[in-house]
Amino acid sequence: MAVERLLILIKPDGVKKSLTGNILTKLSEAKLTIIGAKAVKVSRELAAEHYKQLSDKPFFNELIDYIQGKMYGAPYDRVFAFVYQGEDAIARMRRIAGATNPEEADPVSIRGAYGRITTKGVYENVVHCSSDTSEAEREIKLWFSPEELTEEIYPTKIIDTTIKKKVWA
Ligand code: UDP
Ligand code: MG
């Protein structure tokens, strides 16, 4: 079995419901290593790029609002993003997360225990979990820069930039 990485997001419903600790405890059963972690206020651009394969779905706009935490507002309009690494990591984490539809998810999974379907029909299922290695690589590169990870898991390059950067005053 191969070492894999994946992106996990604690979605805004998980943040609002104070489930961060419970979710991390449950995920820790897989005995994987966290190699990146941060809080993110999700822009519309990031949300649309993250879910671009679902852009033709009727629920796409609601899904974008959901991952941005629009319905919860400050201070819950954020996600906690993690990169996990370990043997067979994707299948193991998806088992703990549970099926996409929280009504169909195993009740002892995270989504089965804590998810719901909104009146608009969106599955508020508490966590995002990459579903295969190529999706995981795309998502990790979208959400994290190389210096935000403790391991260099993909090839990097050095570029010269003239971009202005915010530093502590
Ligand atoms: N989703 C939804 N209705 C659907 C399918 C998906 O609201 O019929 C939402 C749900 O929040 C899900 C996300 O869109 O987590 C991404 O869908 P995907 O099929 O990739 O499921 P996942 O990989 O998250 O299990
Ligand atoms: Mg998916």
Span 51-82, pLDDT tens digits? 999 999 999 999 999 999 999 999 999 999 99
Residue of 13, 55, 63 to test ligand 1 pocket, by largest number of atoms within 8 Å of CB: 63
Is pLDDT of 1 > 90? no
* CATH number listed for the domain at residues 3-148: 3.30.70.141
Provide the residue type at 4 as one letter: E
Domain boundaries, the chain: 3-148
DSSP 18: T
Whose atoms come closest to the Cα of 117: which ligand?
1
Evaluated on CA atoms 65, 68, 69, 74, the torsion sign reads negative
Question: Rounded CA gap, 51 and 86, in Å?
Answer: 25
CA 160 to centroid of ligand 1, rounded, Å:
39
**Please, are residues 165 and 122 in contact by the beta-carbon 8 Å criterion?**
no
Residue 43: predicted pLDDT: 98
Alpha-carbon separation of residue 156 from 37, 147, 153 (angstroms): 19, 10, 9
Using DSSP, state whether 169 is helix, strand or coil: coil
Strand partners, 83: 7, 36
Q: What is the pTM of this model?
A: 0.97
Residue 163: predicted pLDDT: 87
Residue 153: predicted pLDDT: 98
Span 107-157, pLDDT tens digits? 999 999 999 999 989 999 999 999 999 999 999 999 999 999 999 999 999
